[in-house]
Amino acid sequence: MATWLFKTPTVQEGPIGGARLFYFYKLDVGVSVVKEAGVYSLERYLVDSDIPNYEEVYRGGRNYEVSDETKAALIAADIDITEANFTEV
């Protein structure tokens, strides 16, 4: 059984500031992955008080060690998570 390093998905947001120069740049922002009622979904903004209600939470912008089963479930969830989000540990 392999262990995988899971990197949560990202989206680009911009502009990154109010000055004219900042309109040309974007930041990669992590998107959280949550499991609720057996279904995985992407959440842009988590509320801290809601986190205990989820079965699993992978907060955006972080890396997590996951098992083969979790990796397969995340890819099968069809929420734009692919093999590229995983690195073997």
Prediction pTM value: 0.88
**Dist CA 60 CA 51 (whole Å):** 13
> For residue 36, what are its two tokens?
């609720």
pLDDT digits (tens, 9 = 90+) for 38-86: 999 999 999 999 999 999 999 999 999 999 999 999 999 999 999 999 9
